[in-house]
Structure 1
C-alpha cells in the first residue's frame, strides 16, 4: 500500500468556505473516493492556507485514473479549483505537490531496529 502525502495552497480569501465545503462532502464523492482506491484519506489545513493531504492506495496512478473517469470527480474538481493557488490549469487532484516520505515507524520497527540507540 502506498502512503501519499501532498500539499496545496488554499487562497486566503477562500479559507472559510473551503473548510465549510469539507464539513459535508457530497456522498457520491465520498463513495467514489473509496471505490477508486483513496483510503484513510485526511486533509489538514493551516491558518495561512497550507493544505496537507494524506491517503493510502494500492496505486496512486491507478487511483487518479479511476477518479478522473467519474462524473462526480469532474464536478468536484471544477468547483474546488478556484480555491487553490498555483494550479496552472490542472485540477487539484492532479496538480498537488507530492511530498517524499522519509520515515515510517512501522517500517523501521518491522526491520528489527531493536539495537537502535534510544535517546
Structure 2
C-alpha cells in the first residue's frame, strides 16, 4: 500500500477570495466552490489540487506547511506576486541558490525559487 498526495489544503476565513488569488497567480481555475466553504483550485502550473477551507478563525502563528514554487525568472515573478498582493517576508540565498519567501493575502508563507537552482 502506498500514499499519494491528493491536494494541499489551507484554512482561511474567506475560501473564495484566497482560492481566487491563488488561481490567478498560478494560471489555474476554481474547480469547485462548495458554497464557499471548501474551494478547490486545479490546472495551470499546479501539479496538485490546492484547496481552501473556510473556518471561523485560523490557527494563530506561523504556518507549519508551505508551498515551494519554482520559476525561471525569480525577480520578475517575485515582483509580480508582490504587485498582486503578496507581502515580502525575506529574500534569501546566495549565488548558488536563491529564493524569496512571501506571504499570500491571508498571511500564509510560501517560497519561490529560481528554477535552474533546484
Fold match by TM threshold 0.5: no
Task: Decide which structure has the larger Cα Rg and report it.
Answer: 1
Kindly indicate whether structure 1 or structure 2 has the higher relative contact order, using CA contacts under 8 Å at least 6 residues apart. 1
More strand by share: 2
TM-score (norm 1): 0.33
More helix by share: 1
TM-score (norm 2): 0.33
